Copies of this chain bind each other. A is one copy, B any other.
């Protein structure tokens, strides 16, 4: 029996490399910008420091999810980041598991969920 059936709440597909909060923001940000983003833009969009961004990008790069290109724009060094093909695919697979989790929980929340939606705390 696959683990998903024996342990329906183990959510095995939630790849830990992607799941880490800052990296999840980076992956989403790069998914929304398929042509890639400059280091400085990525840093601002994700609200990260230089050090944190470098560290998380390295993890994503070593896992083959993101490619980082270092070059020059005029005389200034310019670092550009984008998802790899396999990175996009693995992120989509990760998102499918996340969608299942949100559905499981939202369904269970039932009335409470609708109430919070009416209060504007949750989307309808």
Contacts and interface: CB of A to CB of B under 8 A. Distances in A.
Q: How many copies does the complex hold?
A: 2
A46 B121 contact: no
A95 B108 contact: no
Interface string A32-46: 101000000000111
A71 B41 CA distance: 54
A95 B105 CA distance: 8
Given A11-B21, A98-B101, 4 more contacts: A19-B21, A95-B102, A95-B122, A99-B123
Interface of A: 3, 6-12, 14, 16, 19, 21, 24-29, 31-32, 34, 44-48, 88, 91-93, 95-96, 98-102, 104-106, 108-109, 112-113, 116, 121-123
25 contacts: A6-B44, A6-B47, A9-B26, A9-B28, A10-B45, A10-B46, A10-B47, A10-B48, A11-B21, A11-B25, A19-B21, A28-B104, A31-B104, A31-B105, A32-B104, A34-B108, A91-B105, A92-B112, A92-B113, A92-B122, A95-B122, A96-B123, A98-B101, A99-B106, A100-B123
